[in-house]
Amino acid sequence: MNATVIINELSIDAENFQKEMINSNGSEKVKIRFNFKVKSEDYHDVTTLLYNNKFLVQVPEEELKFKATIQNYSTSITNLYEENNVGDFQLELVETE
């Protein structure tokens, strides 16, 4: 499923969006996983945001809004500073509160 995922104020066109509920310290938390493309011109802004690792996440299609941190993160390319490159990112976020 594709969805719009808003991390803080950055809107992402998420592909392969998945949501599940996990048990964490005796309470249920939301965990989402998705893929998205990052163009070389957006690389700095996206990675700077992800390094913060404190997010307000919204998924309008799922009526979700929660605070989260990264559980898992990967990318298909390490040097998106080269012009016209596009990387495939995979991100897993878990609710913190």
Q: Are 7 and 52 in contact (CB under 8 A)?
A: no
Could you tell me which of 19, 94, 9 has the C-alpha nearest to residue 62? 19
What is the tens place of the pLDDT at every residue in 22-40?
998 889 999 999 999 999 8
pTM (two decimals)? 0.91
Given a cut of 80, is residue 8 above it in pLDDT? yes
Helix (H) or strand (E) holding 49: helix 43-52
Q: Are 73 and 50 in contact (CB under 8 A)?
A: yes
In single-letter form, the type of residue at position 18 comes to Q
pLDDT score of 88: 94
What is the tens place of the pLDDT at every residue in 42-83?
988 998 999 999 999 999 999 999 999 999 999 887 777 788
Burial of residue 32 (CB within 10 Å: 0-12, 13-18, 19+) is buried
